Amino acid sequence: MTISRNSSRKWSIQSVVTADLGFAKKARNFAAGLDVPMAFIEKRRISNDSKAEALTLIGDVFDRDAVIVDDEVDTGGSIAQAVNIVKEYGARDVYVSFVHPLLSGNAGRAGWANCPVTRFIATDTIPIPEDKLGFFGDRLTILSVAPLLGEVIRRANEGRSVGEMFNE
């Protein structure tokens, strides 16, 4: 996969990293579609609530551009830890892609401004509040889900398969 940054440089994703084993199956499909290897962040729960600590990386990102993928970002703490671990293991550029930007509470205050992320990529399924946009700087790309939803509606109205859109 090549993502155009500007006319003088292109980014090439060479590893897909999942920040959460719950998203591993979808991340595997993403990696297979790009024909690149996959890595996992190993996490451990540190209490009875939802807090987890990232421990290590399973897989190889050394001297590769990596994209960390997840379904949703709530506070961003796990993503920040994942980025730091991927960088510790020698990744060059790190991209973070997630579908739903929940960004609750103190999201972004976990150091995103200083987080070594080349680009954050999210969808518009949930609007990002103005006060949280600043945490991304100029590194945020928001992709619209409107064309996808429009195609789903069109297919449903025509009696055509929606699953076919996703190779199902």
The answer, yes or no, to whether residue 111 has pLDDT greater than 60, is yes
Least confident window among 3-12, 15-24, 98-107: 3-12
Residue 65: its pLDDT value, please?
A: 95
Residue 2: its pLDDT value, please?
A: 38
| Residue of 155 and 51 predicted with greater confidence | 155
pTM summary value: 0.84
The answer, yes or no, to whether residue 136 has pLDDT greater than 80, is yes
Write down the mean pLDDT value for the chain: 86
Q: How confident is the model at residue 77 (pLDDT cuts 50, 70, 90)?
A: confident
Backbone angles phi, psi at 39, to 5 degrees: -135, 160
Task: Give the best-scoring range by mean pLDDT among 46-55, 97-106, 150-159.
Answer: 150-159
In the chain, count H helices and then E strands: 4, 9
Q: What is the mean pLDDT of residues 32-57?
A: 81
Residue 86: its pLDDT value, please?
A: 96
Least confident window among 107-116, 121-130, 133-142, 154-163: 107-116
Residues carrying an active site annotation: 43
Q: How confident is the model at residue 106 (pLDDT cuts 50, 70, 90)?
A: confident
Token pair of 157 as six digits:
């109205």
Q: What is the mean pLDDT of residues 21-34?
A: 89
Residue 49: its pLDDT value, please?
A: 60
Residue 76: its pLDDT value, please?
A: 85
SS (H, E, C) the chain: CEEEEECCEEEECCEEEECCHHHHHHHHHHHHHHCCCEEEEEEEECCCCCCEEEEEEECCCCCCCEEEEEEEECCCHHHHHHHHHHHHCCCCCEEEEEEEECCCCCCCCCCHHHCCCCEEEEECCCCCCHHHHHHHCCCEEEECCHHHHHHHHHHHHHCCCCHHHHCC
Token pair of 110 as six digits:
């976990």
